Homo-oligomer: A and B are copies of this chain.
Amino acid sequence: MEATVQGLLNGGDVLFLMLGAVMVFAMHAGFAFLEVGTVTQKSQVNAFTKILTDWSVSTVCYFLVGYPLAYGTHFFHNANSLMGGNQGYELVRFFFLLCFAACIPAIISGGIAERARFWPQVLAGAIFVGLTYPIFESLIWGQHSGLLQDLFKKYCGAPFHDFAGSVVVHSMGGWLALPAVIALGARRGRYRNGKSQAIPVSNIPFLALGSWILAVGWFGFNVMSSQQLSGISGLVAVNSLMAMVGGVLFALIAGRNDPGFVHNGALAGLIAICAGSDLVHPLAAFLMGGIGALIFVYGFHWEQEKLRIDDVLGVWPLHGLIGTWGGIAAGIFGLPLFGGMGGVSFSAQLTGSLLAVVYALITGTVVYGLIRLTIGFRLSEDDEFKGPDLAIHNIHAYPEEQVK
């Protein structure tokens, strides 16, 4: 009887985390379609291939190096011992956390679209997923979390809280993308004779499909972040929902019914809620998501028109700025004063969130600086004119039409 119950616990945990992993794996199709819909037609094949290649390289790097670095364990045993006494729970935990790590290159991909060379961006992703991301992860969630979190507890009264990665994943990805996009420069024709000239997106249905896939999978991202069935929380699910909905509605108003803003608004809300989704009241989640959407709508405009940074999908305001907002907001709306669960500290949230920004900016600048100086990061003028689909993959997204 006790063995049966233990079996149910083990099986339940493996199923729970496996479902979460599959849902977040599916989100990578969402990243792909979001990019495909937003770029021009001559960069669609490239978007698909980048996302799938980055995913695959991330898997190898995180399996061999990243996960061992973050959690102090490895998989160089035979199959039998990998299964352990718990039906291979450690393996699905790797799978689930890989899905998070692999978001880093998938986020950056949207910023550097249409003019980056293929292998240099793969290389950068490999370095982040294999090395720099797991080091930060180890300090917040992993084997070295004692080091940093004890300092937070001592000086701020509570550890830095990032339930599902507003900071560790999204802010990290978004702030790494900033130096990447700057190192690369704007697409030809984006800013001409001192004037900003928006390059029209190719396909709203694919953009919307990407957003939907991401939003659906996000419930795995957030809910399964408890990593054990016994820790499942209906609050996390409904907070994710409310933040998404807040994001949609605020983006609808601020973005004047523009479909790009509305569909990215859902994502803005979801990014804002990750960190505090287990802490805050659903109405607070609605507001946090709504503010996230405002950050996106105005941040995107500011970035593109004032700062003149050609971040194609706006991944820096979306994942970077809102990720940081999510980390900080958990320290506000998580307080009992606002109906939250408590146990968080505003100063810890602020410090931890800024730490991620600094870490990402430094590592991103070093990696992309070196790549630019050595192997080069940007397509040749000719190749950019042809578009990456023809230049790199030797095929159009719609070959039959091209032939006609």
Interface residues of A (CB under 8 A from B): 1-2, 4-5, 7-9, 11-12, 14-16, 18-19, 21-23, 25-26, 29, 32-33, 36, 40-41, 44-45, 48-49, 52-53, 55-57, 59-60, 63, 75, 77-80, 82-83, 87-92, 94-95, 98, 118, 200-206, 208-209, 212-213, 215-216, 219-220, 223, 229-230, 232-238, 241-242, 244-245, 248-249, 252, 256-260, 262-263, 266, 279-282, 286, 336, 339-341, 392-403
Contact = CB atoms under 8 A, between A and B. Distances in A.
B9 A59 contact: no
Contacts of A26: 212, 216
Which of A11, A90, A213 has its CB near the most chain B CB atoms (within 10 A)?
Answer: A11
A237 to B, nearest CB: 5
Contact of A92 (B7, B203, B237, B394): B237
A402 to B, nearest CB: 7
18 contacts: A7-B230, A8-B8, A15-B229, A21-B237, A26-B216, A29-B213, A48-B204, A56-B252, A77-B339, A78-B336, A79-B279, A88-B234, A91-B235, A91-B237, A200-B399, A202-B399, A203-B398, A204-B399
A233 B87 contact: yes
A223 B95 CA distance: 13
Given A7-B230, A202-B400, 5 more contacts: A45-B259, A53-B248, A59-B242, A87-B233, A88-B237
Contact of A200 (B40, B216, B402): B402
Given A78-B336, A263-B52, A83 B234 contact: yes
Nearest to A339: B78
A79 B4 CA distance: 30
B87 A393 contact: no
Given A89-B234, A209-B29, A216-B25, A229 B11 contact: yes
A330 to B, nearest CB: 12
A168 to B, nearest CB: 21
Nearest to A18: B237
Given A5-B5, A59-B242, A393-B257, A52 B205 contact: no
A230 B12 CA distance: 9
A16 B286 CA distance: 24
Contacts of A258: 393-395
A297 to B, nearest CB: 15
Contacts of A94: 238
A95 B14 CA distance: 23
B395 A204 contact: yes
Contacts of A279: 79
A48 B259 contact: yes
B266 A52 contact: yes
A342 to B, nearest CB: 8
A237 B403 CA distance: 41
A175 to B, nearest CB: 27
A263 B36 CA distance: 15
A48 B263 contact: yes
A339 to B, nearest CB: 4
A340 B81 CA distance: 10
